[in-house]
Chains A and B, each alone.
Chain A
Amino acid sequence: MISLLAQWAALALFVSGAVSFVLLLKGCFVLRRYARGRSRDESIILLKSALMPMVSVVAVPPDGSRESRAFVRRLLDLHFANREVVLVLEDPSEPEFETWAAEFRLAATSRGAWESLDPMRLVVVKTKRTGVAAAYNAGVAKAAGSLIAVFDHEGDFIPEALLRLIPPMLQDPEGIAAVCGIVPDFASGSLIQRFSTLESLRLWLARCAAFAGWNMLIPVPGCCMLIRRDVILQAGGFPVAEEQPGLAAPLELILHLHGLARKSGARFRMALVAEPVSHVPAPQSRGNLRRLIANDQRALFSALRHRNSIARGTRAIGWGLIALAYDRVVRPLLETALYVLTAIGIVMGLVPLQVGLLVLLCTAGTGILVSMAAVILRELTEYRGSEPGQLTRLFFAAFPENLGYRQMRNLWLVGSFLKNKTR
């Protein structure tokens, strides 16, 4: 009985591995099509043009720390002729607000907000701590721009990010209501960096490109987004409250917008800008890698927990959210349980060694090939090749990734899921 159960579970995991490959392949085709249609860089003309729409960058920093202030500084340094930064502070303490006011030379306005006296367009809004979604909504309400930009704190974005993000919206202003820009970091230094790169390659090809091909694109960690303000307002703003700033609120908003469009048959499309506008730097340590995975898990879990506030709930992007839940929760849980069950079964003599081999082939074996395929398919998306040494290092990193790290990552994913569930 245990042997049969293990065999079926192993085969199910093999099929899910095959589906992962199909997603990667789809992502590769989408990115190749994108590379063919990519226009040349016209950033200089866009920067100088008086015809550019106004963009309001809305930021909700978690606190008044130096990192948060540096993040806002980077937002203020974005190259774009017609933009403002709307900073929303959730119930800041008196000393915390003083720090912000001193750093950016804030002065109260007659509109119930604060503006910088320096020659930069910074609007600061104070709100009660009623959740990040409410804070974003306050920011959108104060924003003067017709486009709202949101940057994930985890991402390392370039100053020209807005100039690179906006072209799809200018080319199809009616059809494309939002854009999301991200590329994977192609670091191949330490083993941890290589694992992180493989992970981000899979995420980029499947969750970004393939999902974009099926109009199911949702924000991913480290991305930057542009969303039409009127679309946000028509949807009633950011849908639910989340306790901590991060990716959760924008993710739930985009899911809600997808869900509303599918429900009413209206047009909503979030386009992918697969250009180096933003990326998550490959972490140097295991702890940082674990933190990144946990943050992504928290955002997804938050969307699932608040599914009732999102139009069409778990079917907001068709089968996409369910597939993500399977990949991030069910598969790691099943795989971990299968390893334990098979090991115990083999020790007790209930499971033949051949089943152990089957389990290994269906999990680690398939994983190795899927990771290797991700490296190759990413290479095929570009019309120019990468550095051969880097390519080789990443290709062969698939072995240690699936023979040790994969199992540890499963435990992290399950642990993060349980932690979020009990919160």
Chain B
Amino acid sequence: MIKSELSLVTAFLGFFGLWTVGMFVVCLIRSASWDKQNRMTAALLPQIREALVDYLAGSDNRSRLREFVRISRGDVGAAVMSFQGTVSGSARDLLCELALELALVHDWCQDAHSRNVMQRRMGFSRLSFVCSFEPCRRVAGDILLHALDDSDREVQLSASRALAQSGGIGEVERVFQHAVSGDPMNRILLTQELRHHAVPLCERAIQKELQSGDPVRIQATLQMAAAWECALPLLGIGELLDAQDRRLRLMALRLASMVPDSPGIRKGILEALADPDPEIASSAAGAAGRLRMEAALPVLARCLRLGDATLARSAAAALADMPPLGWGVLEEFKASSNQITAQAASEALDRARGAA
């Protein structure tokens, strides 16, 4: 019996051993080839970037770039993309024009149709950069719009970004709806892209969402609008300051100082300042400070005196925004026996005087 057991185990281990050694050789070859590719890219990329910089600086010699494209199209594409965060305006247009001329845009359009998700993602992320240039957009056609329904979220995101950068208001509204109905991650990533369209979005798309009656969509809309941190021609925020839903109320308070001022909004802020919930009171303090509501001075002083560190800091910051009366209150509280009050008042005053 021991002999058969031994031979069985040996056979299993032998087979397993062969597989392991075979896979090890495969991995080793793969590593070596990756290493070689990396070294080649490391040597090539600075040269391509240099040639691109020359081109952007006005050099008309494109033969060198064509030679690079012949050696490694992928590296040229990567080099073009590495300028994404650094060029804008006419330089960006020049770069996009070059990508079109070298047929890189056509490659990326093909990649965008690939069944391989990694390739598709790369294609769309590159298209999202070049589609701000109208001729490139024409080559891409409806690919971007269709990609909003792609099964891969990364592809959807790249397409949304591209449309937010270069699309008309109808397409931007569609991206906005996509962001509102999507998950929080999508919303966070698209908020900055949609900021440039904040005013046109307020005219129709945002009002429509606020009137939808769906608290989840309303909250998502308010979150995005508040994150834009700019003045918005938005109506109907005053009613939301009294909302039963705490999250909606907090969001409305954050938006209160960004929308057209009204007595309803001021009343809502004053009521929120007296709220026992410190987070609501803190948000209200922020809004009162930004609106320089002198009527809120007594309540802010009370928050500074009795609130926890976060509320005290918010109240102090709000008072610091309201010289000279607010500064007077802070001066008074600098000598408070409550360490947190004194510290918050002192810091806010120092900051305000420093800024002045």
Contacts and interface: CB of A to CB of B under 8 A. Distances in A.
Contact of B188 (A39, A49, A107, A375): A49
B35 A117 contact: no
A92 to B, nearest CB: 20
A11 B226 CA distance: 65
A110 B303 CA distance: 12
A14 B16 CA distance: 13
B31 interface: yes
Interface stretch (A55-63, A220-228, A383-391): A383-391
A366 B20 CA distance: 12
Given A365-B9, A369-B16, 20 more contacts: A7-B1, A45-B192, A49-B188, A49-B192, A117-B339, A121-B310, A354-B6, A355-B2, A361-B13, A365-B13, A366-B13, A372-B24, A373-B16, A375-B24, A376-B20, A376-B27, A379-B31, A380-B23, A384-B34, A388-B35
A170 B183 contact: yes
B243 interface: no
Nearest to A355: B2
Interface string A24-53: 000000000000100110100110111111
A82 to B, nearest CB: 12
On chain A, which size bracket covers the interface? 35 or more
B24 A11 contact: no
B2 A352 contact: yes
List of 8 A-B pairs having minimum Cβ-Cβ separation, nearest first: A385-B31, A170-B185, A385-B34, A50-B227, A107-B339, A115-B309, A388-B31, A379-B27
Interface residues of B, number: 50
B306 A110 contact: yes
A362 interface: yes
A357 interface: yes
15 contacts: A36-B118, A40-B154, A53-B184, A107-B340, A108-B339, A115-B308, A119-B347, A171-B153, A354-B6, A358-B5, A358-B6, A358-B9, A365-B9, A369-B13, A376-B23
Interface of B: 1-3, 5-6, 9-10, 12-13, 16-17, 20, 23-24, 27-28, 30-35, 117-118, 125, 153-154, 183-189, 191-192, 223-224, 226-227, 229, 279, 306, 308-310, 339-340, 343, 347
Contacts of A211: none
A260 B118 CA distance: 38
B125 A49 contact: no
A52 B31 contact: no
B184 A386 contact: no
Contacts of A167: 185
A36 B117 contact: yes
Main secondary structure of the interface of A (DSSP, over half): helix
Q: Which label, helix, strand, loop or mixed, suits the secondary structure of the B interface?
A: helix
Contacts of A372: 20, 24
A109 B17 CA distance: 65
Contacts of A362: 9
A51 B191 contact: yes
B185 to A, nearest CB: 4
A109 B340 contact: yes
A345 B227 CA distance: 75
Contacts of B187: 51
A268 interface: no
B183 A358 contact: no
Contacts of B34: 384-385
Contact of A39 (B31, B154, B229): B154
A363 B189 CA distance: 51
Interface string A298-312: 000000000000000
A198 B16 CA distance: 18
